[in-house]
Amino acid sequence: MPRPDRPPTPSARLPRSIDRADVAAIVERCREILAESPTADVDCEDLVDPKLPAVAVLAELSLAARRSRRQLRLEHAGPDLLDLLAFCGLAVSDADDAN
């Protein structure tokens, strides 16, 4: 439960599925949310059967986070997503995965 003296932190949440045509819009929406947040956390809980468009979204968000001197952190990232990111050369450390 959030403390009454502190507003809740906005959460960037990925949708259930991501198609190639949706990448730019999802990145823009998540960037807006992350710009309002002191952390760069992305909730991946709803993402089912991740594919390369999801990797593209996370790669762009990771780059945006680095440019603002933050590290992207994935919350509730499933093993399929983590395996796909590793296969694409985008390793995720244990500290970044909050399963």
Q: Give residue limits of the domains in the chain.
A: 38-99
69: alpha, beta or left? (left if phi > 0; alpha if psi -120 to 50): left
Q: What Cα–Cα distance (Å) separates residue 99 from each residue in 32, 60, 69, 77?
A: 24, 21, 24, 6
Residue 48 confidence (pLDDT): 94
Give per-10-residue mean pLDDT for the chain (99 aa).
54 93 96 89 95 97 92 93 94 55
Residue 80 confidence (pLDDT): 95
- Model confidence, pTM: 0.82
**Are 86 and 92 spatial neighbours (Cβ–Cβ below 8 Å)?**
yes
- Look up residue 67 and give its DSSP letter: H
